[in-house]
Amino acid sequence: MPGHQFGEIGIELGLLKPHHVETALERQSALKEIWANSRLGEVLILMEALDGLQVEQILAEQQRRRGVEEPPAPAFPYYKDYLIVKKLGEGGMGEVFLAQEDKQLRQVVLKMLRKDKAESPAIAARFQLEAQIAGMMEHPNIVACHTTALAHGARFLVMEYIDGESLQERLERRGRLPESEVLHVAAEVLRGLAYIHDRGVIHRDIKPSNILIAHGGAVKISDFGSARMAHAEFHDFNTIVGTPNYMAPEQIRCKPTIDWRADLYSLGATLYHALSGRVPFVRTSNSEVLRAHVRDTPDALAGLTPEPQADTLRIIAKLMSKDPDARYVTARQALGEVEKALQKRRVVSAPVAIPSAPRSLTRRMVNRCTVALQSLLAAKG
């Protein structure tokens, strides 16, 4: 559809002024050098000359004049200063998109709250708390939250984009990971958890899909949608918060005394999955999985992965203790144990150099062997 036709209809409907269209056409040419498929409606949204509903109104009239009976394309993918590139995923509360930031020309992630969910005061408050907690975090092992925004009726967080994959995606691709790689992930996550816990925050949803691994090897914790402040009043009675395959028993019981050690349990369950290639409890329903986390002991890792270090097995078992008091006291204490195990693994895996004998020593040994052999032959003769 020609851009000027779109603009002319907008002017006729009283939604645009001629100078809006002229400026948008000029900016469209510039933007096409950076982003593909940059349409006039997108540019006008970016300029805040139109909103998404007005763009759809113009599109509908444009299609009516062309005799097209199908509904117009969905609203243009511009939100404030961000062009949506592609959808990354979705959940019960909203959707996650990869986007391009207009001002800094960097890629970011937009986590959007669905409009129907935003109407709920409780969900809106939960989203606001996530934004508040994420905005507090500044650490190399935590995904950064750049800002929050509201555009065209949609609330969203602007997050750091990690060029890589989640631990979940890596496990789906490779099945399970080598022990040294699992220990590396554990150490990086524990550094992030130590920082989070020092600031009085409990993540409550540590799992493979919330651990991101950049192509350069950096490991970052993401998604504070379930997080809470440790000192805040407990409101989650009879509400299970977290992901069944990785939840601590006290989370499942909705205990108000839950603290940072719940995150340690979830990390232990995540490491169990990464090392063995399967979740700790394989059951037919979520309710059975939750019951198993409270009552059952997972299958021994030694039978699920080749030659694991005793230290690694001990660390995961301690992290997954049913009783929080039997786990590590802090993430920093667990980190110390993981670093020792990782160092030991590196030493064991390192090739052992066998020095060659000096030439002079080799000649002396040959001469001695020759004399001994001659003496033996003489004695036999």
CB 296 within 8 A of CB 344: no
For residue 158, list its beta bridge partners: 110, 147
The enclosing H or E element of 151 equals strand 145-151
Which two tokens mark 251? 């989370």
Rg for the chain, CA atoms, rounded: 30
Rounded CA gap, 336 and 240, in Å?
31
Backbone conformation region of residue 175, classed left if phi is above 0, alpha if psi is from -120 to 50, else beta:
left
For residue 31, list its beta bridge partners: none
Find tokens 């001469």 and name the residue: 367
For residue 97, list its beta bridge partners: 87, 110
Q: Which of 116, 163, 198, 205 is catalytic?
A: 205
Q: Which residues contact 226 (CB under 8 A, 6 or more apart)?
A: 203, 204, 205, 241, 242
Rounded CA gap, 211 and 222, in Å?
6
Question: Which amino acid is it at 168?
Answer: Q
Q: Is 205 part of the annotated catalytic residue set?
A: yes
Q: Where are the alpha helices (DSSP H) in the chain?
A: 3-12, 18-32, 40-46, 52-65, 115-118, 121-136, 167-174, 179-198, 249-252, 261-276, 286-295, 310-319, 331-349, 359-380
Helices vs strands, H then E, count in the chain: 14, 11
Rounded CA gap, 138 and 315, in Å?
27
Q: 311, exposed or middle or buried, with CB in 10 Å at 0-12, 13-18, 19+? A: middle
Q: CB count, 10 Å around CB of 124?
A: 14
CB 189 within 8 A of CB 141: yes
Residues involved in catalysis: 205
